[in-house]
Amino acid sequence: MQNNTDNDTIVAIATPLGVGGIGVVRVSGPEAFAVVQSLFSQPHGQHDLPPSHLLTYGQIRDPRTRESIDEVLVAFMKAPRTYTREDVVEIQGHGGPLVLQRILRLVLAQGARMANPGEFTLRAFLNGRLDLAQAEAVMDLIEAQTEAGQRLALQQLRGRVSAQVQEARHAILGVIASIEASIDFPEEEVPIPQSNELTPLLLAAQEQVEALLAGAEQGKLYRQGLRTAIIGRPNVGKSSLLNALLRADRAIVTPVAGTTRDTVEEVANLHGIPLHLIDTAGITPTVDPVEEIGIQRSRAAAETADMVLLIFDSSEELSEQDWLVSQELRALGFDPQVDSRQVVLVVNKIDCPQRLNYEAVRPLWPLAPLVRTSMLTGEGLAQLEETMVSLVTSGKGLHSESALITSTRHRESLRHAAAHLQASLASLHQQLPLDFVSIDLRAAYDALGEITGETASDDLLERIFSEFCIGK
């Protein structure tokens, strides 16, 4: 982990590796200007440092051979109005990997060193340009999968989460100050605060922390999404439902490579929640060895799902296979009575003559919501989506407009803060000496400080920034 005293000039390719129209090499640190100037030749033999924050045209040349490596636009950006608050230079070259690698090597040869993952953003944090929650938001913004997720990341980047956390910290600090003044200067007639004065202040701070925590469950959904498996015997309409959910909001649908065991995962947009749809081949037991492989995959996918859409075909009677699928699901631990994972029953093909006996279906899953759909006409699809949202928000609906905690780390810190606030209130209530109260208040104050980074350890910083990619 680099610390504040790190004075190196760092460099990295900031655009993705691969062929592109342009690619950017980013340099930051005290020698950034000198390093790039020694490689950069401007038209008409000009040597002056170009104006700050403007693009200047020229060539990158190997200083030993004078060979021209690329035709570029370069932005010299003087500290402190830069991403890292250091001198920064961005070289826009042609986006071929070889060209960018050669520019990178030349910058390294001039004395810069390769940047660690996330080091530009780390420097922005260490130099006070961003707090920790804002630095983390940079990554969330880059990785956002829906517009709602992107909006939340941007709010965090702009400091909305930090502001609410700081407000709660400030309230706690006020109480700590009044307690400690009376402890430290007993003879100076600082009045000893009474528990009936302190209690409402602490309750107010607690309320702020609880409000942030309340949004955290939803924030997690927006960030991590909802893993959903579509399951049913062959021909009930699984693929049709998958396509219908994907088509519902095509503009922001992005196919992603399957993460586990070759199951294909696609991401649809469920009212702003990234809906990771796991395409399963069906989990019906079979004797066919080839099918058996598909079944193993489906099982694995279902095992990790947060939600299962279990489909039945209403144009046919409930079959032995339908029953077996339900058995399989239960064997995998899905049971609305004991499991927090959700099952939604989808009765499909309601446009056809109806043969399904609901009295046979209901006892299989007495507590699961049931939605009737037709993938042919689209009927019931909107209702299915609403049912899913309602289930995952425990009927509260989505509040994408307010600042929401999206990070697990922040949620943990909030939980610690809430527990310490609770303990301090209990000490007050039991009339314990005020030292006891203030110890827990300090701990709550520090826990909140971990979110914004004031009290973050080097280990924590290392962990956070190592998840960034190089060049960010």
94 φ, ψ (degrees, to nearest 5) = -75, 145
Supply the minimum distance, in Å, between the C-beta of residue 270 and ligand GDP: 19
Nearer of residues 239 and 408 to ligand GDP, judged by Cβ: 239
Residue 354 is a binding residue for ligand GDP (CB under 6 A): no
Q: How far is the CB of 231 from ligand GDP (least distance, A)?
A: 9
**Applying CB under 6 A, which part among 148-156, 369-377, 391-399, 453-461 lies near ligand GDP?**
369-377
Complex with ligand GDP: residue 235 or 296, whichever CB lies closer? 235
CB neighbours of 248 closer than 8 A, spacing ≥ 6?
Answer: 268, 269, 381, 385
Q: Which is nearer to ligand GDP, 311 or 447 (CB)?
A: 311
Q: Which residues pair with 59 in a beta bridge?
A: 41, 71
Residue 314 engages ligand GDP in binding (rule: CB under 6 A)? no
CB of 291 to ligand GDP, least distance (A): 13
| Stretch of residues binding ligand GDP (CB under 6 A), selected from 63-71, 171-179, 287-295, 374-382 | 374-382
Minimum Å gap between C-beta 378 and ligand GDP is 9
Interface with ligand GDP includes 316 (CB under 6 A)?
no
Note whether 375 binds ligand GDP by CB under 6 A: yes
- Residues of span 19-48 touching ligand GDP by CB under 6 A: none
Regarding 237 and contact with ligand GDP (CB under 6 A), the answer is yes
Please, what is the Cα angle at 327 between 326 and 331, to 5 degrees?
115
The answer to whether residue 349 forms part of the interface with ligand GDP (CB under 6 A) is yes
Kindly give, in sequence order, each residue whose CB lies less than 8 Å from that of residue 184, ignoring residues fewer than 6 positions away: none
Which lies closer to ligand GDP via its Cβ, residue 77 or residue 375?
Answer: 375
**Distance in angstroms (rounded) separating the CA atoms of residues 150 and 155:** 9
Nearest CB to ligand GDP, comparing residues 23 and 294 = 294
| 12 or 388: CB nearest ligand GDP | 388
- Of the listed pieces 148-156, 346-354, 355-363, 390-398, which binds ligand GDP according to CB under 6 A? 346-354
- Can residue 374 be called a binding residue for ligand GDP (CB under 6 A)? yes
**239 touches ligand GDP (CB under 6 A):** yes
Question: What part of residues 204-233 is at the interface with ligand GDP (CB under 6 A)?
Answer: 232
Asked if 235 interacts with ligand GDP (CB under 6 A), we say yes
Q: Work out which of 80, 174, 234, 255 binds ligand GDP, going by CB under 6 A.
A: 234
Please name the amino acid found at residue 155. Q
Residue 106, strand partner residues: none
Among 84, 150, 228, 348, binds ligand GDP (CB under 6 A): 348
> What is the distance between the alpha carbons of residues 179 and 360, in angstroms, rounded to a whole number?
66
CA proximity to 112, closest of 23, 24, 54, 26: 26
Applying CB under 6 A, what is the total number of residues that bind ligand GDP? 15
Residues at the contact surface with ligand GDP, assessed by CB under 6 A:
232, 234-240, 348-349, 351-352, 374-376
